[in-house]
């Protein structure tokens, strides 16, 4: 496999990761964190970059990928967990979110004062999903379309905007907002959830492995090595862009208060270039959202066509684009409202699952470790998700508030460690194998 092939697969992975949230959240973090920017950005990059790359590596290491990793908890858990993940980061959440944001940034600014946006949104999303459908129909060509054509244009556009801000907008660094006054690293860590990239990596793993195999990676070691290299390339570009957007937000904080990162980017581009700035920003958001939606659509098509014997890849892709099209017309506010509790619940489970995957050669045949670790983590992760929408659970909530890191939104960490310990103790009395036939796969992967 050529080095250039790995590089362009890395760019393809970057483009699939880099969607609406990847533009909005780093810039807002920069404006809010102020003098605590670097600490907050370190936490953001840990979950926004490090965790997705770790997921890609874990998926490439194990024969059967995510299904095998989740299956170590229980086969039914694997199916349920992955179906929920694919539906959430696919047609029911991330896909309509990206399409809605693309409209808000590319079309809506030019429609202000021209009445309702209902019909323009319908037309925009119809065209958007029509092109998504056509590109996603041929997964073997996605690396060419996105890695070699679209991503370079996206990077150049973002780079041009960042350079203009750095050289033309200078303000003293502001004091951090209340959320970043203390524990800024953990606040940034939680904000990294919002990119949804770690969950996306669970889905994109199948696309990346398919692309690496298509380019000639034969054995499992080559597959793992080249997949990991592609992940590192994507992670490097993500880190550079996040820091650049964050610094832009920090520079823009002196211009006033902002509701979100989209408003920061819109204001910056308008100040610097007027209408041309709005057009450039619209191009950036459209390309970023488009590449992510194509990647998610293709991943859903490959997963569900494999899960459901009678379903074709083409049929699944059509269904995903239709559902995404319908839901994207319900409005961005509703989509974002649903995403927060889901992310707060799903991310801790994903983090623990991937962490255990890296220690599997030490855990070996002790099956109960996975079950108890995920059970203990899941309980407190779900409580955290309910808290994010204002729901509390009485005495159970009071107990959770006593846990270390609860004030940082990470009360699940200690239960995850305890659950792992309980599983190790229980496994001493349980001689049941982890998974039938997995020993050979572990040896082969390791």
Torsion of CA 352, 353, 354, 357, to 10 degrees: 120
CA dist., res. 329 & res. 50, Å (int): 33
pLDDT, tens digit only, all 446 positions of the chain = 677 888 888 888 888 888 877 888 999 999 999 999 999 999 999 999 999 999 888 888 877 777 888 888 888 898 888 888 888 888 888 898 889 888 988 888 888 766 677 899 999 999 999 999 998 888 767 666 666 777 788 888 888 888 888 788 777 888 999 889 888 999 999 898 878 888 888 877 777 877 787 776 667 788 888 888 888 999 999 999 999 999 989 988 888 888 888 888 888 888 888 888 888 888 888 888 888 898 889 889 988 998 898 899 999 999 999 999 998 887 656 666 667 777 788 888 988 998 898 888 888 767 789 999 999 999 888 888 888 777 777 777 777 788 888 877 788 899 999 999 999 888 877 655 544 444 444 444 34
What burial class does residue 391 get, using C-beta atoms within 10 Å of its C-beta: 0-12 exposed, 13-18 middle, 19+ buried? exposed
Class of domain 3-330 (CATH, top level) = mainly alpha
Return the pLDDT at 437: 42
Q: Report which DSSP code applies to 96.
A: H
Nearest to 300 by CA among 287, 312, 289, 290: 312
Q: Which two three-digit tokens encode residue 408?
A: 């940082």
pLDDT tens, position by position, 297-318: 988 998 899 889 889 999 999 9
Return the pLDDT at 113: 65
Return the pLDDT at 374: 93
Residues of the chain with CATH 1.20.1740.10: 3-330
Three-state SS string over the chain comes to CCHHHHHHHHHHHHHHHCCHHHHHHHHHHHHHHHHHHHHHHHHHHHHHHHHHHHHHHHHHHCCCHHHHHHHCCCHHHHHHHHHHHHHHHCCCCHHHHHHHHHHHHHCHHHCCCCCCCHHHHHHHHHHHHHHHHHHHCCHHHHHHHHHHHHHHHHHHHHHHHHHHHHHHCCCCCCCCCHHHCCCHHHHHHHHHHHHCHHHHHHHHHHHHHHHHHHCCCCCHHHHHHHHHHHHHHHHHHHHHHHHHHHHHHHHHHHHCCCCCHHHHHHHHHHHHHCHHHHHHHHHHHHHHHHHHHHHHHHHHHHHHHHHCCCCCHHHHHHHHHHHHHHHHCCCHHHHHHHHHHHHHHHHHHHHHHHHHHHCHHHHCCCCHHHHHHHHHHHHHHHHHHHHCCCCCCHHHHHHHHCCCCHHHCCCCHHHHHHHHHHHHHHHCCCCCCCCCCHHHHHHHHC
Quick count: other Cβ atoms within 10 Å of Cβ 313?
18
Ramachandran category for residue 38: left, alpha or beta (phi over 0 → left; psi -120 to 50 → alpha) = alpha
CA dist., res. 300 & res. 317, Å (int): 7
Contact in structure between 26 and 173 (CB atoms under 8 Å): no
Return the pLDDT at 292: 86
Return the pLDDT at 357: 87
For 393, half-sphere exposure in the C-beta direction (CA atoms, 13 angstrom radius) is 15
């Amino acid at each position: 496999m050529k080095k250039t092939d790995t590089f362009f697969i890395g760019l393809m992975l970057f483009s699939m990761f880099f969607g609406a949230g990847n533009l909005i959240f780093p810039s807002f973090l920069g404006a809010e964190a102020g003098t605590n920017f670097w600490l907050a950005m370190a936490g953001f990059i840990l979950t926004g970059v490090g965790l997705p790359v770790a997921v890609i590596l874990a998926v490439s290491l194990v024969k059967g990928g995510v299904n095998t990793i989740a299956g170590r908890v229980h086969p039914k858990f694997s199916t349920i967990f992955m179906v929920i993940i694919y539906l959430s980061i696919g047609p029911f959440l991330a896909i309509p979110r990206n399409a809605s944001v693309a409209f808000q940034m590319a079309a809506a600014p030019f429609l202000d004062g021209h009445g309702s946006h209902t019909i323009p949104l319908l037309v925009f999303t119809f065209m958007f999903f029509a092109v998504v459908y056509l590109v996603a129909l041929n997964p073997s060509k996605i690396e060419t379309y996105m890695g070699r054509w679209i991503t370079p244009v996206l990077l150049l556009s973002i780079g041009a905007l960042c350079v203009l801000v750095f050289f033309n907008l200078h303000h003293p660094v502001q004091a951090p907002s209340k959320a970043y006054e203390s524990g800024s690293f953990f606040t940034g860590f939680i904000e990294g959830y919002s990119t949804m990239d770690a969950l996306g990596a669970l889905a994109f793993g199948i696309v990346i492995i398919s692309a690496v195999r298509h380019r000639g990676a034969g054995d499992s070691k080559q597959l793992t090595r080249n997949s990991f290299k592609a992940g590192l390339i994507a992670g490097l570009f993500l880190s550079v862009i996040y820091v650049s957007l964050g610094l832009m937000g920090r520079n823009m904080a002196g211009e006033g208060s902002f509701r979100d990162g989209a408003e920061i980017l819109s204001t910056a581009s308008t100040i610097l270039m007027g209408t041309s700035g709005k057009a450039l920003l619209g191009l950036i958001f459209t390309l970023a959202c488009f590449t992510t939606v194509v990647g998610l659509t293709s991943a859903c098509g490959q997963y569900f066509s494999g899960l459901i014997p009678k379903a074709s890849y083409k049929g699944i892709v059509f269904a995903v684009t239709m559902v995404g099209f319908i839901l994207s017309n319900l409005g961005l506010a509703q989509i974002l409202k649903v995403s927060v509790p889901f992310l707060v619940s799903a991310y801790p489970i994903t983090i623990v699952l991937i962490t255990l995957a890296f220690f599997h050669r030490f855990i070996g045949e002790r099956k109960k470790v996975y079950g108890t670790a995920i059970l203990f983590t899941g309980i407190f992760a779900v409580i955290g998700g309910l808290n994010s929408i204002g729901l509390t659970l009485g005495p159970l909530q009071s107990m959770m508030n006593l846990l270390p890191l609860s004030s940082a939104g990470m009360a699940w960490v200690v239960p995850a460690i305890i659950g792992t310990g309980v599983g190790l103790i229980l496994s001493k009395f349980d001689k049941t194998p982890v998974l039938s036939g997995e020993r050979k796969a572990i040896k082969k992967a390791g």
